[in-house]
Amino acid sequence: MIDTSLWNWDHVWSALPEMLTAFVKVTLVVTIVGSAIAIVLGLVIALVRRSAPQPISGVVTFLMNFIRMTPLVVQLLFMYYALTSWSPLMVGIVVFGVHYSTFMAEVYRAGIDSVPRGQWEATTALSMSPGRTWIAVIIPQAVRATVPALGNYVISMFKETPFLVAVSVIDMVGAARAYGGDHFRFTEVFIVAGVLFLLASYPTSLLINRLEKRLAY
């Protein structure tokens, strides 16, 4: 017999619908849209740092390092109070996307640096334009090398969505906390939240591994 003073399934079934709703409408939305922003913006930052004139690349590098070295929660709060016309959810999506783009930019940089020098020399010998060199030769090879690290940052973003509570956005963990506060039952809801995070992130890691293997060929 399970001691109902420690675990009560009735509280699990009561809290689950609201937690799943918050999971779909907030946790997944912020992760998916924020990741898309981070992946694209991170590549742009890496290319600007590599190809732009020194004054521009220097400014971009400074801003990137500033964002990387300040806490995500501080950025959320600053943008929340600075952009009062934005919805808290939109603030969260943009802040998560920009914050993680700075980390992904470093991943892209490492991927670009890993492209053999002979590839650069071959494009010069073939008189390929800079744009075609990047699009057809360098970026595809760099992306193959960066998929595991990019995937890890996506999973990290997913696990950090509970920080959205700082700007009054109720994600899955926030819904669990609210239910626990109303019913004085935290054990069930937080364990369920942890299981849901695991069920979502583990298959994602398997998909990333499969994608890495496919891109390797």
Structural domains of the chain sorted by starting position, each given as residue range(s) with its CATH number in brackets: 9-215 (1.10.3720.10)
Of 1-10, 90-99, 147-156, which range is least confident?
1-10
In tens, the pLDDT along 18-51 reads: 999 999 999 999 999 999 999 999 999 999 998 8
pLDDT of res. 2: 46
pLDDT of res. 133: 79
Whether pLDDT at 3 is above 70? no
pLDDT of res. 174: 92
Upper half-sphere CA count for residue 192 (Cβ side, 13 Å): 28
Label residue 56 by pLDDT band (50, 70, 90): very high
